[in-house]
Amino acid sequence: MTRQAFSSDRTPPPAGTYSVAIQAQGLVFLSGQTPRDIHNVRHGDKPFAEQARMALDNLQAAAEAAGLSLRDAVKVNVFLKNPADAKEFDAIYAGYVGDPPPARTLTQSNFAGFDIEVDAVLLARQA
């Protein structure tokens, strides 16, 4: 099995030992993205909607590094500090993934300093 890693100058740099995106067996796995900018500064002080858009924009940039889009997502994992933000997140998220939406899991997380993280699995396009 071959793997291909992808990086982007439009995503924050990895905060640890991981790839922004990696393709294997016809799938592309996107690492979790948070409301960080390309200079690795977290923006957890912003309103939730702005944090959500920033995390999703980072995830979209990771998908684009692999030549894809969040519209190619088959599974998305959403981690929220406050589950009450789910409805607001859903309204923003719908514009990123299109129809039909991918399978999704929403989990409450005990984040410190920000409110959201999102990762995804995409179906790679066949050449």
Show the CA angle centred on residue 10, arms to residues 6 and 11, nearest 5°: 70
Instruction: Domain 3-123: give its CATH code.
Output: 3.30.1330.40
pTM of the model: 0.95
Q: Above pLDDT 90, what percent of the chain?
A: 95
Q: What's the CA gap between 36 and 6, in Å, rounded?
A: 18
Domain residue ranges of the chain, discontinuous segments joined by +:
3-123
At 59-105, the pLDDT tens digits run: 999 999 999 999 999 999 999 999 999 999 999 999 999 999 999 99
